[in-house]
Amino acid sequence: MRTPTTEAGPARGQTPRLDGKLETIRATLLRRNPGEEEFHQAVDDVLATVGPVAARRPEYAEAKLLERICEPERQIIFRVPWTDDRGEVHINRGYRVEFNSALGPYKGGLRFDRSVNASIMKFLGFEQVFKNALTGMPIGGAKGGADFDPKGRSDGEVMRFCQSFMTELHRHLGEHTDVPAGDIGVGQRELGYLFGQYKRITNRYESGVLTGKGLAWGGARVRREATGYGCAYFVAEMLAARGTSFDGRDVVVSGAGNVALSAIEKAQQLGGHVIACSDTSGYVHDPRGLDVELLTQVKEVERADLAEYARRRGDGARHVAGGSAWAVPCHVALPCATQNELSGADARRLVQGGVVAVAEGANMPCTPDAVRAFRDAGVAFGPGKAANAGGVATSALEMQQNASRDSWTFEHTERRLVEIMRDIHAACRDTAAEYGAPGDYAAGANIAGFVRVADAMLALGLI
C-alpha cells in the first residue's frame, strides 16, 4: 500500500489507501490515460470508496468490472470547421465519450467551453455513469462537447458551429442509442440549432434524441430548473436528516448560470436566505437576499455581469471584482459553477464561518482537499453525482414524455423530481451505512451507483 503522489493527487475527501488490486487498476489507468488529471481525480474518488464492495462481491473482480467501468465503451473525436461572420475559417475539436450503456442509451450533456479536452470529457462521462445509475432511470452515461466558446459570438456564428458539430455527431446519436442534452455553454439556443440540423439530416422528427428542448418543440416542463431545484431539495433532505432545515440559514451559491439561478430560487422558496453568487467577473454580496428576478434579467436576458446587478440593486449589494464567493460566511454552500472551483483553503474558511451543509450543483466543483476538510469537520456533503442528478433525471422524464407523445404539468413533473431526489438521498444514506461509512454521502453515492451498473454489466455478459 502507498499514498499516491502522482499528478492525479489524492481522491476526494481522503487519501486513497488502496489495496493491491485497486492500486493496480489505478496504476494501469494512469499509464493508459497520461496527463488526464481531471479523469484521474474522478476515478480516484470512486476507487477510494468501493473497496468494501469488492470484498463482498468476488464475482465483480472475476469479471473485471471495475477495470471495464473505467474504460469508455467508445470515444469519438472529430473536426468541427465553421466560418465566423467575417468569413474567417475556424477549426474546433468535437467530442463524444460514450462511457457506459449497461442501463440504457448513452445519456449526458454537451459542453461548449474553451477548457474542453479529452480529460474533462472523460471525467464528466465517468461521473455521469454513476449519477445516471443513482437516478434509478434507464439511462447509460456519456458526455460530449467542443473547445468552442459561444460567449461573444453572434447567433449566426453559434448556429453555423452547431450545424457543423451535428453534421458529424448525428451518425452516433438516436433516441435508443445516445441522447445528449446541454451543459456549460449549451442552452436552449444551441440545442435548438443542434436539433434542427439533426432533423434536417435524418429527415426524422425524433424528439427523444435530445433533452433540454424548448417547450414549443418537444421539451418538458421543469427540465430547465431541475438541476438547481434538485440540488436544493437534496440539501433539504440532508438538513432534515440532521433534524434541521433551510429556515433562516444563510446560503452562498457560486455561479450565475442556469443551475445557480434555479438553486437560488428553490433555496429561497425552502426558507434559505441566499446572500451571494458569482460569475467570471467576481461575486456579489447582497445581505438583504438576492433578487432572483433582477439576477435573471441581468444574467440571462442581458447577458451582462454581476457588477450590473449590484449597480441596479443598490442598497448594500456589493460587487467584488475578481473575488471568490467562498469569502462570504454561510451555513449552506452550493458550488454551482465548474470543476475544482472550491479549494481546501476555501473549505476551511467556510468551516470556520459555520457551514453545516455543502452540495455540489456543478460536477466535481470541490477539490479532494476541500472534500476532506468538510468530512473532517462533520459537514454534510452532497457529491455532484447525487446532488445535481435532478437535471439528468428530469431529462429521463422528458424522454418518457417524448416516447408517449405526452406533456406533463409543472406540478406533476416537480413532484416526480422531489421523489427522485428523496430516493437518491435515501440510497446514498442507506448504502453508506450498509458499507460502514455512515453519514458519508460521497461513499454512498459511489457504491450505490457502482453496484447498479455492475449488476447490469454482469447480467449482459462480457461485452
CB of 241 to ligand GLU, least distance (A): 24
Cell of 90: 475556424
CB nearer ligand GLU, residue 22 or residue 222: 222
Q: Does 402 bind ligand GLU (CB under 6 A)?
A: no
CB of 183 to ligand GLU, least distance (A): 4
Contact residue for ligand GLU among 109, 140, 361, 368 (CB under 6 A): 109
CB nearer ligand GLU, residue 211 or residue 278: 211
Cell of 226: 431541475
Q: Are 340 and 367 in contact (CB under 8 A)?
A: yes
Q: Does 181 bind ligand GLU (CB under 6 A)?
A: yes
Q: Which stretch binds ligand GLU (CB under 6 A): 19-27, 201-209, 292-300, 389-397?
A: 389-397
Q: Are 52 and 374 in contact (CB under 8 A)?
A: no
Contact residue for ligand GLU among 325, 392, 442, 453 (CB under 6 A): 392
Q: Are 383 and 360 in contact (CB under 8 A)?
A: yes
CB nearer ligand GLU, residue 260 or residue 275: 260
Q: Are 307 and 296 in contact (CB under 8 A)?
A: no
Beta bridge partners of 284: 277, 319
The number of CA neighbours under 13 Å toward the Cβ of 358 is 32
CB nearer ligand GLU, residue 41 or residue 211: 211
Contact residue for ligand GLU among 38, 113, 178, 183 (CB under 6 A): 183
- Ramachandran class of 152: left when φ > 0, alpha when ψ lies in -120 to 50, beta otherwise: left
Task: Select the residue whose beta carbon is closest to ligand GLU and give its number.
Answer: 109
Contact residue for ligand GLU among 100, 101, 207, 363 (CB under 6 A): 363
Alpha-carbon distance of 286 to 359, in angstroms, equals 21
Alpha-carbon distance of 405 to 393, in angstroms, equals 18
Alpha-carbon distance of 62 to 59, in angstroms, equals 5
Q: What track of x and - describes contact with ligand GLU for positions 209 through 248 (by CB under 6 A)?
A: --x-------------------------------------
Active site residue 143: yes
Q: Does 395 bind ligand GLU (CB under 6 A)?
A: yes
Q: Are strands 141-146 and 89-100 parallel, antiparallel or unpaired?
A: antiparallel
Q: Which stretch binds ligand GLU (CB under 6 A): 31-39, 103-111, 115-123, 324-332?
A: 103-111
Residue environment code for 12-44, b if the CB has 16+ CB neighbours within 10 A, otherwise e: bbbebebeeebbebbeebbeebeebbbbbbbbb
Q: How are strands ordered across the β-sheet holding 357-359?
A: 318-321, 282-285, 273-279, 250-254, 332-335, 357-359, 380-382
CB of 116 to ligand GLU, least distance (A): 13
Q: Which stretch binds ligand GLU (CB under 6 A): 106-114, 144-152, 241-249, 328-336?
A: 106-114
Q: Are 190 and 149 in contact (CB under 8 A)?
A: no
Contact residue for ligand GLU among 108, 144, 218, 335 (CB under 6 A): 108
CB nearer ligand GLU, residue 183 or residue 237: 183
Q: Does 420 bind ligand GLU (CB under 6 A)?
A: no
Alpha-carbon distance of 417 to 434, in angstroms, equals 25
Beta bridge partners of 108: 180
The one catalytic residue among 143, 213, 299, 385 = 143
Contact residue for ligand GLU among 107, 221, 429, 452 (CB under 6 A): 107
> H/E element holding 91?
strand 89-100
Torsion from C-alpha of 120, 122, 126, 127, nearest 10 degrees:
10
Query: What are the strands, taking DSSP E only, across 339-428?
Result: 357-359, 380-382
Residue for grid cell 460536477:
363
Site size for ligand GLU (CB under 6 A): 10
CB nearer ligand GLU, residue 4 or residue 365: 365
Q: Does 272 bind ligand GLU (CB under 6 A)?
A: no
CB nearer ligand GLU, residue 52 or residue 187: 187
Q: Which stretch binds ligand GLU (CB under 6 A): 55-63, 101-109, 375-383, 407-415?
A: 101-109
Q: Which stretch binds ligand GLU (CB under 6 A): 97-105, 388-396, 407-415, 446-454?
A: 388-396
The amino acid at residue 299 is: K
CB nearer ligand GLU, residue 40 or residue 107: 107
Instruction: List interacting residues with ligand GLU (CB under 6 A).
Output: 107-109, 181, 183, 211, 363, 391-392, 395
Indicate which residues carry an active-site annotation: 143
